[in-house]
Structure 1
Amino acid sequence: MPELGVGFKLFLVFLLIAATAFFVAAEFAVVKVRDSRIQQLINEGNKKALNAKKVTSNLDEYLSACQLGITLTALGLGWLGKPAVAVLFYPLLAQLQLTQGTISAISFVVGFSIISFLHVVVGELAPKTLAIQRAEKVTLWLSGPLILFYKALYPFIWVLNGSARILVRALGLRNISEHSESHSEEEIRMIMLQSHQSGEINQTELDFTNNVFLMTEKVVTEIMIPRPDMVCLYTNLSFEENLKIVQSEKYGRYPVCEGDKDHVVGYIHTKDLLDLCVDKSRSPSLLELIRKPLLVYEFTPLIDIMKKMQKERTQIAIVLDEYAGTAGLVTIEDILEEIVGEIQDEYDQDYSPITKLQPGHYLVDGRVSLADIAQELGIYLESEDVYTIGGWFMAHMQGPLTEGTSFEYKNNKFTVTETKSNRVMKIEIKEISENVNIDVP
């Protein structure tokens, strides 16, 4: 076999370093790129994305191909690179009149250092950084050549990959392709937060996503309008009396009760009332307008109620307690407000459930949920049986409440400022110093 010239050897060294860079970039890019993004590009008609999908769907095989390519190029650099570079420095060192052994040793060290530097920096570190920062583009460009390399050396890759799988399974581990690519809720939240910090999504989109996750964890008791606050129409009242209630309250829908609120027979829509009022040919009757109510129980998840409302094509549901009595009602608007925030129409009065008086000093509606107290004020009030701040206060005091009743808990003083029929309507929360903290058991 004829001896290769130094120039040709250096050219081969350049090709081997370029090949190393190719395999390193491909390896990091296919691991970093998001499958969802590749699928999106396929849906948009990007032909290169088809090759990328084939690679990312068979990571075990193609990562093995990358590793084989890196190994082969490293061996080639060791065989050709170090001697070729050492030969370049040999004449220069010979002029120093050193011994043959010293010249050979120095030439080898210099050649080894230069090739190692080029291999690490140009062949590995730079391609790795490029692949991580431009994973999508690198994957699209390199997937086609990587597939060709895989097919050309398939027998070797099959043997090596099969041997690796046997070893991995013997250690009780799973192959890469068997790992789930799904993300947990906390991981999705972290991804969304990072996307917001990098400017990919805005604050509103981040808030909506977090609110959706919080909403799916809530049950209807946490957001329903409680029974005492329900505005109802009654079958034992005259049409004119019920009409006065509608004109006064200005809601779109009203539960209709027979006797009391434990006997909800349905609901009416104010549009139907308008039609009945316009028609002067007959005597108006509330009973003919009643629609069948949607009944749910107090511990039903909000997401299930929303699905039932969509299926039944209704926007109001009556909430029942464990004794089948009326616990309250919930509307589709109440559920949507858990995602998008407070929705107010033309007839809603300005209302703020949490009013900041001063730093560390708040006035809170008794119906505010403990989850909202934790989220808005950073005060975590533990309770397994109640969901509102008013209910939590009553559970801790265990007795009649009057305005001015107060106690201290976790560096905060809670004071009732307004009551109605033994219900806590308003609570003042004021931060106090730690040295007077008194925890109520």
Structure 2
Amino acid sequence: MSLAQNIVVLVALVLAAGFLSLTEIALAAARKIKLKLMAEAGDDRALKVMAIQAQSASFFAASQIGLNAVAILGGILGEAAFRPYFLELLNYVYTGAWAGQISFVLSFVFVTLLFVLFSDLMPKRLAMMAPERFAVAVINPINFFIRLCRPFSYVLNLVANLLFRLFNVNTAREDNITFDDISAVVEAGAKAGVLQQQEQHFIENVFELESRLVSSCMTTRDSVVFIDLSEPEESIRQKIALHPYSKFPVCDGVIDHVIGYVDTRDILALWLSKQSPFQINEASLRTVLIIPDTLKLSELLDKFRASKETFAVVINEYALVIGVITLSDIMVTVMGNWGSPMDESHQILERDDGSWLIDGGTAIEELKRAMGIDQLPEEENYETAAGFMMFMLRKVPKPTDSVEYAGVKFEVVDVDHYRIDQLLVKRVAPD
């Protein structure tokens, strides 16, 4: 063949190899979620792409047959076509015994670079830019090519499957989406400007409801304000005036004997109607939702939805009350400080010197996010900042006790009856 014919054939081979390379990356990188959306929008080609992804062995076998055949043929033709011309150019500077070998190497390198650039690198980079769009665009011709190579693909896959079985390799495609996958997508969206940082935190907090226990955001036992069944009206008025709560548990003598709860709106309605004296009775009591402390926040949301209640009392395995939780507490967990401006607990406050004041009841997830820490030691053993300190100190804490972890110093500032009220947290310079 003439040089022109060789060039035409070589260009055709380069384009064919480039098409197969683009197809291979596009079909492998196409995301199932986006393909489903395209299929729901009426693009049947997306269904064909998902079918190939589910049974990808035939496609990859056909692709490799095509790529290797084209590369070998291109190398043979290219070397034969360009070697004389490289030899002729080389004769201007060198005419020794190695001229033939050098021209062969130059021809080989030229053809190899041609295939690497136009048949491998560029097509694959293009496919990675929009894999779903390219995948649906090439699916019909690639299906024809797969049928064309089916006899060879069958033999290759038969041998490959035997080897995989021999070495006990599982070749099933894993399509499960985890929280880490969603978190990575959300983080990428925030970095790209599609999501605001606050929106990113909202989404991540919603998914944390599945893993966080109710005890991580409840009002703890020592902070619970309850009304005694026989409490006089004046005392009830004082409690409602002093504490910014809308619901109060009602107990018979002690906090562990909860018999219901009252809503301050009901009490206010009675007072406004001048029904005095006010007395706690069955008419003013609401049925309280009792939940175990092993419940997840997502499970509590389901119980709130089913019972039409927004207030629950949390008990431990000994049926002792350890706290109360409301729907507002869960909303604060999701929305941060926007959720309840009246709630001053569980706050993380940054000071002018770069240190932080952290409430002892702050959830571990909030603490890690504020400090930029990925993991704390043995997190399954505690749920709050106070629990972390007690776990690390291995004793009942006292003011000025401190621990250092991941370049951050945690110091106990205030203790109320063995309970850590507040921590001072600051970053320390590495040694």
Residue 418 of structure 1 contacts residue 427 of structure 1 at CA under 8 Å; is this kept in 2? no
Q: Which amino acid in 2 is paired with 1:39? A: K
CA offsets, 1:83-111, max 9 Å, x none? 34457778x68999x99x99977775555
Residue in 1 that maps onto 2:131: 135
Report the secondary structure of 2:337's partner residue: coil
Query: Structure 2 CA distance, aligned partners of 1:393 and 1:105?
Result: 73
Indicate the RMSD between aligned Cα atoms, in angstroms: 4.0
Equivalent of residue 30 in structure 1, options 27, 33, 36: 27
Residue 247 of structure 2 contacts residue 263 of structure 2 at CA under 8 Å; is this kept in 1? yes
Q: Which amino acid in 2 is paired with 1:56? A: Q
Distance 1:75 1:285, change over 3 A: same
Report the secondary structure of 1:342's partner residue: helix
Residue in 1 that maps onto 2:122: 126
The alignment's TM-score, normalised by the length of structure 1, stands at: 0.79
CA offsets, 1:173-218, max 9 Å, x none? 122xx03122544454444434433444332233234434544333
Residue in 2 that maps onto 1:70: 67
- Cα displacement (A) at 1:390: 4.9
Q: Which amino acid in 2 is paired with 1:328? A: G
1:219 aligns to 2:219 (yes or no): no
1:41 aligns to 2:38 (yes or no): yes
Q: Which amino acid in 2 is paired with 1:127? A: P
- Cα displacement (A) at 1:301: 2.5
Query: Structure 1 CA distance, aligned partners of 2:351 and 2:98?
Result: 84
Residue 417 of structure 1 contacts residue 428 of structure 1 at CA under 8 Å; is this kept in 2? no
- Cα displacement (A) at 1:171: 2.2
Residue 15 of structure 2 contacts residue 119 of structure 2 at CA under 8 Å; is this kept in 1? yes
Query: Structure 1 CA distance, aligned partners of 2:164 and 2:394?
Result: 60
Tell which deviates more after alignment, 128-137 or 111-120. 111-120
Residue in 2 that maps onto 1:438: none
Equivalent of residue 332 in structure 2, options 337, 342, 356: 337
- Cα displacement (A) at 1:156: 2.1
Residue in 2 that maps onto 1:245: 239
Distance 1:413 1:89, change over 3 A: closer
Q: How many residues align?
A: 422
1:56 aligns to 2:40 (yes or no): no
1:261 aligns to 2:255 (yes or no): yes
Residue 93 of structure 1 contacts residue 103 of structure 1 at CA under 8 Å; is this kept in 2? no
Residue in 1 that maps onto 2:362: 368
Residue 346 of structure 2 contacts residue 363 of structure 2 at CA under 8 Å; is this kept in 1? no
Report the secondary structure of 1:45's partner residue: coil
Residue 64 of structure 1 contacts residue 161 of structure 1 at CA under 8 Å; is this kept in 2? yes
Residue 363 of structure 1 contacts residue 426 of structure 1 at CA under 8 Å; is this kept in 2? yes
1:303 aligns to 2:298 (yes or no): yes
- Cα displacement (A) at 1:24: 0.9
Residue 364 of structure 2 contacts residue 385 of structure 2 at CA under 8 Å; is this kept in 1? yes
Report the secondary structure of 2:328's partner residue: helix
- Cα displacement (A) at 1:423: 4.8
Query: Structure 2 CA distance, aligned partners of 1:162 and 1:181?
Result: 24
Report the secondary structure of 2:15's partner residue: helix
| 5+ residue gaps, structure 1 | 436-441
Query: Structure 1 CA distance, aligned partners of 2:390 and 2:98?
Result: 91
The 5 Å alignment of 1:276-425 reads 276-277=270-271, 286=280, 287-343=282-338, 345=340, 348=342, 353-359=347-353, 361-369=355-363, 372-377=366-371, 387-390=383-386, 405-410=399-404, 412=409, 414-417=411-414, 419=416, 423-425=419-421
CA offsets, 1:99-141, max 9 Å, x none? 9x99977775555444333222222222122222332222122
Distance 1:42 1:77, change over 3 A: same
Query: Structure 2 CA distance, aligned partners of 1:312 and 1:12?
Result: 74
Report the secondary structure of 2:212's partner residue: coil
CA offsets, 1:377-419, max 9 Å, x none? 4796878766445567678596797xxx433433857454464
| 5+ residue gaps, structure 2 | none
